[in-house]
Amino acid sequence: MEVFDDQLLNQQDFSVSVQRALTGGGVVLPYSGWLGHDNVGDEIVFGLLCHLLQRALDANRAPLFRDVKLPHLLEEFDWSPIKAAVLGGGSTIDKFYIRPIVPALEAGLPIFCFAAGFQNDFDLIEDERRMIGLLSGARFGSVRGTATKQVLEQIAGPSPLEVIVDGGFLAPLFYPPAPPPPGPLPRMAINLLDLEYARAPVLELMAAYKHAFEFVLLPFDPPTLAGLAELRAAAPADCRVHLETDFTNYTTLLSWYAASDLSLNMKLHASVLSSAVGTPPLGWGGGRKMDEYFSSIGSDAFRIRSFEVDELQQAVERVKHQKPNYAISMQALLGKTFQAHLSTVESFLHGAGLTSALAAPGGAVQVTGIRAIDCGFILLTRAG
């Protein structure tokens, strides 16, 4: 996990930090995304973009991270000194995330999209289409799949944004998993979203494989922690079950995925992190965004939609011996994905004029990520 300051920033501290960055010749990048809600998928993508920016600007430093538990910061933000903005990773091609950066879009500022995705499984209303249409001016960055790019181009016109695997796939490069802890049985990692449908088939699955697997329950936010705690309490008494409560520790999560033979996931980024460390994921349920991710990594066969326990067990049988070959293919994809994302970041820094803005004497550049509620801010400053 990122190491945030022990003391939270208040409104005055936040304002001072931004002002110091601007007056000191630095750059402030407002970031629109689902932050501040302890959702691992969205939080880790923000951290990974900060790491990519730091790598592009100065490979010998690590980003700094601060936390400010304040809402509506983009709504009250003074955009006049801002040179560019970021539409964060995740399912951010949506009016909820585009609306806060409308001032930047209307001013024609460079917008960087970090493997942004479209997930709406329903028909769009006019306001949603109008908001997405504003992204016609976004010319730096990427979307996370061909389905997203098709939707974007249908609404906003031809787009220069590249198609690159979800940014969360880069996690092992910056949060390397620790050596897996020893265990008497192979492991199956499980992440659930909706217990109403998943509880019965998963309990049957656990009973069927209780002598074959230890089950590691990996939540990705407070609601999934509560659901998995309930599942653990209901698990057959003779099952080996571990519930990981420290779900905001990215290295710990990745270590559990690396130590597992396969994973069963209802949250998108649970499958992203599992595949990133070479563990075959079964993407269970979900809609467009899950389909798009598995297609982007060439693992369509690992998508399951049925809640019938027989089909779930058949899926487990299909993948439980595939880890060695799967890990090799994912390692190759990881290297390609890193280079592709780094290239888009470098193109953005140069194309938006940010590299030259930071080029004056004064030391190496320091990247600081400030996480707020429903948004963030990335400060690029000369370290002095």
Domain architecture of the chain: domains with CATH: 11-171+339-382 (no CATH), 173-331 (3.40.50.2000)
pLDDT digits (tens, 9 = 90+) for 59-75: 888 999 999 999 999 99
pLDDT digits (tens, 9 = 90+) for 248-281: 999 999 999 999 999 999 999 999 999 999 999 9
Q: 266-289 burial, b for 16+ CB within 10 Å, e for fewer?
A: bbbbbbbbbbbbbbbbbbbbbebb
Q: Which pLDDT score is estimated for 2?
A: 58
pLDDT digits (tens, 9 = 90+) for 203-253: 999 999 999 999 999 999 999 999 999 999 999 999 999 999 999 999 999
CB proximity list for 226: less than 8 A, separation 6 or greater: none
Per-residue CA distances from 71 to 16, 28, 56, 125 (Å)? 17, 18, 30, 26
pLDDT digits (tens, 9 = 90+) for 62-120: 999 999 999 999 998 999 999 999 999 999 999 999 999 999 999 999 999 999 999 88
